[in-house]
Amino acid sequence: MSETLSLFELNHLVRATLEQTLDGEYWLHAELSEARLASNGHFYVEFVEKDAAGRALVARARGTMWARTYHLLSPLFERATGERLRAGLKVRVLVTVEFHELYGHSLNIINIDPSYTMGDMARRRHEILAQLQADGILEDNRQLPLPRLMQRVAVVSSAGAAGYGDFCNQLEKNAYGLYFRVSLFPAVMQGANVETSVLAALETIMSRAEDFDCVVIIRGGGATSDLSDFDTYALAAAVAQMPLPVIVGIGHERDETVLDVVAHTRVKTPTAAAAFLIDHQLEQLTAVQDLQTRINEASATLIQAQRQRLDHMTSLLPRAMALVSERQMRRLESLSARLAAAPQRQLMAANHGQERLWQDMTQAVRLRFQREHSTLQLLAQRMKALDPALLLRRGYSLTFNADGRLIRSADDVAPGTVITTRLATGTLQSTVNKAIPADEPLDTRQ
């Protein structure tokens, strides 16, 4: 009958066998399924390996990085990869195999290879982008045209984040007086719930797409290592297929996520996103102001040309009257000569005819003069009517919306809209309380 061992003796035998059989150190690649920094400074992990399909576990082992080693390796790893050591990462580590009679089998981590993790992260991003390309949606959002007006902004961000506050503050206090309406759709911007939370916010925005001009996804500050939370196919596909241009500002200048690649525009920070919107609106405002200047100049040129035409026609009237008078006088002289040579009776008849002719001539000249005078007055009235200042002095006004466009219908103005009314002697700025259709009676007592 074989010897019976205690559990401690058996475990001690296993420990001795491992120490005698195995080499001192091994490079190991595996995935971290758990990662926890204890209060004593030690870092505890669980290594796992999955089958080829990536579903079933085929191996598991506990690992420990002692406090001194962790404080040495962790900063080096994070600077190199932009990631903190956390669950979900694939790592290549140098370990020693240990077996303790009480605690069992574990791996002691003594070094880590950041390049392996960086390669895995790059591979994962490459696979996501390749899948988006295969699905035909990689460049969908980037190809959307930016609308001329980008005032109605849907923002995906953490409600209490300083970056969101900076974004709103910069839009509200822009130096050009441009108006923006910001609607926040709160989401978790770091941690395990990023994907689910941001997807929910984007889905809500998509259901109300007609209410907005663009979408802004911002994350102010935060660790660079949290950026990998945005590297998922589901998030990238949602952004790529948004019917509105998406502006992403979730990282730093040197960092790039999959969302940065698929979004319409990538900026560095929330304040950079606000600056992008302000610059776009300022460009549109400048174009409108240039158009207004050209219209004013064209109107002034037309008015001047009509005035010159009127002056020219006025100057022609005296000459025309002199020519008519001279022609009639020659005719009268000719008739007088003929009458002088005729018999007395013919002379009397001629005198009578001369008087009729003179009356007819006088009447014709008067009528011609009246017609020409009426024509000149009509031209003068048309010229006056072209002067916008005259319309304003008559009590008319011009009303513009916040982006400088002329308002022609009450249906184009929503309650709460800030409007600018230009009068003959000044400009009024007001807020619309109610838009009254043309067929509804106007109560001026309100």
Condensed to tens digits (0 to 9), the pLDDT of residues 54-68 reads 668 889 999 999 999
Cα–Cα dist 144/159, whole Å: 28
Provide mean pLDDT across the span 183-189: 94
- DSSP string of 221-250? S--GGGGGGG--HHHHHHHHT-SS-EEEE-
Three-state SS for 90? strand
426-431/418-423 β-pairing = antiparallel
Q: Hey, which residues does 1 pair with through a beta bridge?
A: none
Does position 322 have pLDDT exceeding 90, yes or no? no
Residue 333's H or E segment, with its range, is helix 270-340
Task: Tell me the per-residue pLDDT of 80-97, one tens digit each, with 9 for 90 and over.
Answer: 877 788 877 888 999 999
Cα–Cα dist 437/19, whole Å: 91
Does position 446 have pLDDT exceeding 70, yes or no? no
Q: How far is CA 203 from CA 185, 189, 191, 208, in A?
A: 10, 16, 20, 9
- Classify 140-283 by CATH class: alpha beta
* Nearest alpha-carbon partner for 88 in 140, 15, 147, 32: 32
Three-state SS for 113? coil
Better pLDDT: 108 or 335: 108
Q: Cα 413 to chain center, whole Å?
A: 21
Cα–Cα dist 177/202, whole Å: 29
Cα–Cα dist 35/45, whole Å: 4
Better pLDDT: 337 or 42: 42
DSSP annotation of 405 reads P
Cα–Cα dist 230/413, whole Å: 40
181-186/214-218 β-pairing = unpaired
Residue 381 is predicted with a pLDDT of 76
Cα–Cα dist 299/321, whole Å: 34
- Classify 7-132 by CATH class: mainly beta
398-400/265-266 β-pairing = unpaired
pLDDT interval class at 142 (50, 70, 90) = very high
Does position 348 have pLDDT exceeding 70, yes or no? no
Contacts (Cβ under 8 Å, ≥6 apart) of 40: 67
| Residue spans of alpha helices (H) in 60-101 | 67-81
Provide mean pLDDT across the span 276-299: 88
Task: State the pTM of this model.
Answer: 0.53
Cα–Cα dist 123/58, whole Å: 22
Provide mean pLDDT across the span 279-296: 88
Burial of 374: CB neighbours in 10 Å, binned 0-12, 13-18, 19+: exposed
Q: Count how many Cα atoms sit within 13 Å of the Cα of residue 112 in the half-sphere of its side chain.
A: 29
pLDDT interval class at 228 (50, 70, 90) = confident
Contacts (Cβ under 8 Å, ≥6 apart) of 393: 424
pLDDT interval class at 439 (50, 70, 90) = confident
Percent of the chain, pLDDT > 70?
90
Q: Cα 336 to chain center, whole Å?
A: 88
Task: Tell me the per-residue pLDDT of 24-47, one tens digit each, with 9 for 90 and over.
Answer: 899 999 888 888 999 999 999 999
């009528």: which residue's tokens? 367
Task: Tell me the per-residue pLDDT of 352-388, one tens digit each, with 9 for 90 and over.
Answer: 767 787 787 788 878 887 888 888 888 777 777 666 6
